[in-house]
Structure 1
């Protein structure tokens, strides 16, 4: 089986300085913590695609999320996710096109014990 090519690009160059104060944002395009994470799996080889998504989702703190971009509606992946971590993620479809589906997945807060 031949490997699928993966395009690797240079990270964006800083165009502005990060804000100094707690309320100051930045516009440098560096994907710093306050930027929304977009995981485009269309360029990831199919054999490892689900593992990459699960790894990214496991790294999310409660309340954090990412936008998953896939070449089709990833219903099998979503079913696997629900089986692995029942009720752990909210999902919101952002687009449902024939060759591109975008879903925002947000880790739900952990219920308070007590």
Structure 2
């Protein structure tokens, strides 16, 4: 098995946005998951697992090599979400996925 590092970092809220989930943690930034280095065969599973750990009202930003429409459909089957595109380039898409419920 090949081990690959997955880089998680945080993004700063966009202008005018604030952290509103009402939790007690002190970071207002969304976790960011760059899925491009994850092998394709397990990429969706990795994002689904990370999303499952995201509490309602919180967001996860993913960096994908394409528009992740099939993945977004899978996420919508699990919980209501709100999707925002932060960056759309041919090989780098930044997508904020907010868990509504």
TM-score clears 0.5: yes
Q: Secondary structure at the match of 1:61?
A: coil
Classify 1:82/1:8 alpha carbon distance in 2 versus 1 (closer, same or farther; 3 Å).
closer
Kindly report which structure 2 residues correspond to 1:23-102, keeping only aligned pairs within 5 A, or say none.
Answer: 34=27, 35-85=29-79, 88-102=80-94
Q: Secondary structure at the match of 1:43?
A: coil
Question: Is this contact kept in 2: 1:72–1:100, CA < 8 A?
Answer: yes
Question: Is this contact kept in 1: 2:6–2:38, CA < 8 A?
Answer: no
RMSD across aligned C-alpha pairs, in angstroms?
A: 2.2
Unmatched tracts of structure 2, length 5 or more: 8-24
Question: Is this contact kept in 2: 1:39–1:68, CA < 8 A?
Answer: yes
Unmatched tracts of structure 1, length 5 or more: 10-31
Residues in 2 aligned to 1:54 and 1:67: alpha-carbon distance in whole angstroms: 13
Residues in 2 aligned to 1:91 and 1:79: alpha-carbon distance in whole angstroms: 11
Moved over 6 A (4+): none
Q: How many residues align?
A: 83
Residues in 2 aligned to 1:99 and 1:78: alpha-carbon distance in whole angstroms: 17
TM-score with structure 1 length normalisation? 0.64
TM-score with structure 2 length normalisation? 0.71
Give the number of the structure whose alpha-carbon radius of gyration is greater.
1
Residues in 2 aligned to 1:73 and 1:79: alpha-carbon distance in whole angstroms: 12
